[in-house]
Amino acid sequence: MNLPNKLTLLRVILIPFFVLFLLWQFTDWNILISLVIFAAASLTDLLDGKIARKYNLVTDFGKFLDPLADKALVMAALVGFVGLGWCGSVPVMLILFREFMVSALRLVVKSGEGTVVAAGWFGKIKTAFTMISVVAILLLRGLGALGVGAELPVKLISDILVWVSAALTVGSGIQYLKAYWHVIDDK
């Protein structure tokens, strides 16, 4: 297994630790610890792609697992945020729906054309923005737990970031549907 794929697997392995610190309120620092874990996992996403392209280590396994690892990491965060009351459920459900739809589309394309659908530019922008939004929300909440920035409208900021993420997610889902409709269309 090459280094980019190992980094992707590391991202998957970090998810339970992230969720543990996000949801288990055993210290005032747990949210900031979850932030560090999430940020480290997000950095593996940046690194694995750069390394794979620079050293010609792109594999079908990597093209398939990388977006799934991204989805699992981001959805763990967003579902956790809903559970904690930090954001609304509707934008998270939209994001979840798109992620399942694109994952299913990737499987259909793989079975129909024999190719693995790599992440498109819109999907990469969506992922980057959403990961940055999660980091921002965790930072605001973590500092708030320590009594810093209590005057900020954290819930409003969180809702705006999650809704923008949802809009980008829906847009990138439409891009995937347009690009691969020919595989679905039975004509």
Judge whether 35 and 138 are in contact, CB under 8 Å.
Answer: yes
What pLDDT does residue 43 have?
95
Question: Sign of torsion, CA 147 149 152 154?
Answer: negative
Encoding tokens for residue 54? 């620079």
Residue-range definition of the domain harbouring residue 156? 3-184
Total domains in the fold of the chain: 1
What pLDDT does residue 103 have?
83
What pLDDT does residue 16 have?
98
pLDDT of 26-75, one tens digit each? 888 999 999 999 999 999 988 998 999 999 999 888 888 888 899 999 99
Q: For residue 145, how many C-alpha atoms fall within 13 Å in the half-sphere facing its CB?
A: 17
What are the C-alpha distances in Å from 136 to residues 39, 77, 131, 165?
10, 12, 9, 13
- Give the number of other CB atoms < 10 A from CB of residue 138: 27
| CA-wise closest residue to 11 among 52, 54, 53, 43 | 43
Q: For residue 16, how many C-alpha atoms fall within 13 Å in the half-sphere facing its CB?
A: 3
> pTM (2 decimals)?
0.90
pLDDT of 116-132, one tens digit each? 666 678 888 998 999 99
What pLDDT does residue 69 have?
93
Judge whether 171 and 119 are in contact, CB under 8 Å.
Answer: no
Of 165 and 179, the structure prediction assigns the larger pLDDT to 165
Tell me the CATH number at 169: 1.20.120.1760
Helix locations, 85-120, DSSP H: 89-113
Query: How many residues are present in the chain?
Result: 187
How does DSSP classify residue 120?
P
Distance CA(42)–CA(47), nearest Å, equals 9
Give how far the C-alpha of residue 89 lies from the chain's centroid of Cα atoms, to the nearest Å.
16
pLDDT for residue 25 is more than 90: no
Of 137 and 70, the structure prediction assigns the larger pLDDT to 137
What pLDDT does residue 187 have?
57
pLDDT of 66-116, one tens digit each? 888 999 999 999 999 999 999 999 999 999 999 999 888 877 776 666 666
